[in-house]
Chain A
């Protein structure tokens, strides 16, 4: 039945309802409504579905701070690259997306070519298995991601500890979504009419964690799934709210998202991590929105065991990733987009990560014939 959610026929019929509703709302507002998505997987799913161009003129879909690699600050990127460069005795374990992200002077990929040991893992569990199989190596797993990934990384520390491994540590760049959305929504320059909430983050946090979007900021919000029908449903529910002058945080993904979320995942996250202030690309420091391993797990904390001193650097020259992540511009507004900056030669992280707005836009929506 889940296949039905990808059914192009059903999609077409829903679209035939969506377009007039979007036009009606645009008529009321005197401009197309602007909805923002804050999840890398939504960025990709929307780009792939072609929804943006199908609704062009009556509705604008923008990306926000939803790609974990993209929101990682330049300083944090430089920090892990410096660690890889300085310590060829360590094995840096990472999700693949991080490899080519340009630091100020280098990237993990370049450091690997120079002799650093960098391994790509699909799951932190694989990194623990690797550590168990290579007792002579010291493995540092790079924890990047939101509430969806942090519990998995916490469990990897639990697994390392229960297996008595002393050669596994985590460098946590984890971040939490609600607080950056507060920061985003407090920006008086931000003009959005609705928010598509990240379905899988909400699976962990619960719908209720995002009530503030509507109650405090009066912005309509819908928890959205990732199949084409899910996306259209969320857009439809947002349009209905805008048309009716309402603002609520609605669960558009009830087959997975509950009011309270996944309590087990929340507990494990709380047990292993504590909130800390953290730098976000484009946003600067967002208080308490980062997750650091608690003191009781400092043995597994790479920030404690292998400290590197790296100052926060400005983003790459000319890269407007920060503005893209804040929804101030769309990727194609960046002067470097598709010229100096392409997936083969990325200038900023938003062009590297497959979930990055620039990469998704380039891959699926940019009319390449013109380039």
Chain B
């Protein structure tokens, strides 16, 4: 129920406050009223109960993977 699902934005309609996102091959219309940041196709959103609650920063995801590589290669 409280499940958050990441989705890739494929279409944005700001004036009607929705975006279509694709997660695991399934497309869904989600409400983007809670997202202040700019959205363009290709962005990733975290979706909860039909509403996007946050924009996923892919750069941070990349950094965190790189950090792991560093930790794993240390010693």
Q: Does B58 belong to the interface (CB within 8 Å)?
A: yes
* Bound-complex Cα distance A65 to B46 (A): 22
A200 touches B72 (CB 8 A): no
* Bound-complex Cα distance A256 to B44 (A): 10
A148 touches B2 (CB 8 A): yes
- Considering only CB atoms, which chain A residue lies closest to B2 in the complex? A40
B68 touches A41 (CB 8 A): no
Main secondary structure of the interface of A (DSSP, over half): helix
Q: Does B26 belong to the interface (CB within 8 Å)?
A: no
Chain B positions 16-75 with a Cβ under 8 Å from a chain A Cβ: 31, 33-36, 44, 46, 48-51, 53-58, 60-65, 68, 71-72
Task: Write out the residue numbers on chain B whose beta carbons fall within 8 Å of the beta carbon of A40.
Answer: 1-2
A255 touches B48 (CB 8 A): no
Our pick among B35, B48, B61 for the contact of A152 (Cβ within 8 Å) is B48
A122 with B50: in contact, given A151-B34, A155-B31, A264-B35 (CB under 8 Å)?
yes
* Bound-complex Cα distance A264 to B31 (A): 13
* Bound-complex Cα distance A236 to B12 (A): 38
Our pick among A123, A256, A355 for the contact of B54 (Cβ within 8 Å) is A256
Our pick among A5, A69, A148, A236 for the contact of B53 (Cβ within 8 Å) is A148
Our pick among B51, B64, B72 for the contact of A255 (Cβ within 8 Å) is B64
Our pick among A17, A96, A146, A257 for the contact of B72 (Cβ within 8 Å) is A17
* Bound-complex Cα distance A263 to B50 (A): 19
* Bound-complex Cα distance A354 to B34 (A): 27
Interface size counted on chain B using CB atoms at 8 A: 31
A264 with B34: in contact, given A1-B58, A123-B50 (CB under 8 Å)?
yes
Our pick among A10, A145, A262 for the contact of B1 (Cβ within 8 Å) is A145
* Bound-complex Cα distance A355 to B55 (A): 24
Q: Which of A39, A203, A204 has the most CB of B within 10 A?
A: A203
Main secondary structure of the interface of B (DSSP, over half): mixed
Chain A positions 141-200 with a Cβ under 8 Å from a chain B Cβ: 144-146, 148-149, 151-152, 155, 199-200
Closest CB-CB distance, A227 to chain B, in whole Å? 9
A200 touches B33 (CB 8 A): no
A255 touches B53 (CB 8 A): no
- Considering only CB atoms, which chain B residue lies closest to A126 in the complex? B50
Q: Does A226 belong to the interface (CB within 8 Å)?
A: yes
Our pick among A5, A263, A353 for the contact of B36 (Cβ within 8 Å) is A263
A interface residues, Cβ below 8 angstroms from B: 1-2, 4-5, 10, 13-14, 17, 39-41, 67-69, 95-97, 122-126, 144-146, 148-149, 151-152, 155, 199-200, 203-204, 226, 229, 233, 236, 254-257, 262-265, 268, 353-355
B interface residues, Cβ below 8 angstroms from A: 1-4, 6, 31, 33-36, 44, 46, 48-51, 53-58, 60-65, 68, 71-72
Top 4 A-B residue pairs of the complex, sorted by shortest distance between their CB atoms: A123-B50, A255-B60, A152-B51, A203-B54
Supply 16 further A-B pairs (C-beta < 8 A) apart from A68-B2, A236-B71: A1-B61, A1-B62, A17-B71, A123-B50, A125-B50, A152-B34, A152-B48, A152-B50, A254-B57, A254-B63, A255-B58, A262-B54, A264-B33, A264-B35, A268-B34, A355-B1
